[in-house]
Chain A
Amino acid sequence: DAGITQSPRHKVTETGTPVTLRCHQTENHRYMYWYRQDPGHGLRLIHYSYGVKDTDKGEVSDGYSVSRSKTEDFLLTLESATSSQTSVYFCAISESYSGGRNTGELFFGEGSRLTVL
């Protein structure tokens, strides 16, 4: 199993409070991603990182920010949580796709369930 740890695994918070989810990897992979999973939407990309301090937006980035100060850590922050951000959040990592030995697949963490009341 890929060494990916998400914390916290479960969190209940109130509308308007800040929340930070942490993803920690021990694989030294270059790429890291945050996805959210919601019924009827599958998994949607929030933000991703292609190196330390290098991040970019995904398809549902509004209301979220990220930071990556070390290769192994990728933080997702909700500055002011809203009920629409109630979801299961997954961190993922990947190596560079080489077309050869590795298939470029993403390895996912176990998820963080966030409930915003």
Chain B
Amino acid sequence: DQQVKQNSPSLSVQEGRISILNCDYTNSMFDYFLWYKKYPAEGPTFLISISSIKDKNEDGRFTVFLNKSAKHLSLHIVPSQPGDSAVYFCAASRVWLTGGGNKLTFGTGTQLKVEL
């Protein structure tokens, strides 16, 4: 049972335009959400996170939106750059339950391709 879902396996956008990656979750107990980026043959790298007490978090070109009632989060990248081409994973956790550790549940990933 996939608790975190990324229904779009791939997304293609033009350089300079907005990239919107979507993620849905089913477990209402999740209270912390993250986005990771992964290049081939490398480990995932942290991009941005959001706590369930917020509905938006921004860091430079990256903004994450959280809609708790819809159990939906999205990552906006503006403007998109060719170097953003990678697989993006959303992840969720119940961080307080684990006493400080963070057992992340990941989605299946979306391959973003930013074209010139």
Contact = CB atoms under 8 A, between A and B. Distances in A.
Interface in B45-66: 45-46, 49, 51
Given A43-B89, A94-B101, A96-B101, A108 B44 contact: yes
Nearest to B109: A42
A14 interface: no
Contact of A43 (B95, B100, B106): B106
A31 B102 contact: yes
B34 A105 contact: yes
Contact of A104 (B32, B41, B107, B109): B32
Nearest to B9: A40
A109 B100 CA distance: 20
Nearest to A113: B41
A42 B34 contact: no
A50 B106 CA distance: 20
Interface residues of A, number: 32
A97 B106 contact: no
Contacts of B104: 43, 45, 106
Interface string A91-108: 010111111000111111
Interface residues of B, number: 29
Nearest to A104: B102
Nearest to B6: A42
B101 A48 contact: yes
A111 B42 contact: yes
22 contacts: A4-B43, A31-B102, A35-B106, A40-B108, A42-B106, A42-B109, A43-B106, A45-B105, A48-B101, A48-B103, A58-B103, A90-B43, A94-B101, A97-B101, A97-B102, A103-B49, A104-B49, A105-B34, A108-B44, A110-B42, A110-B43, A111-B42
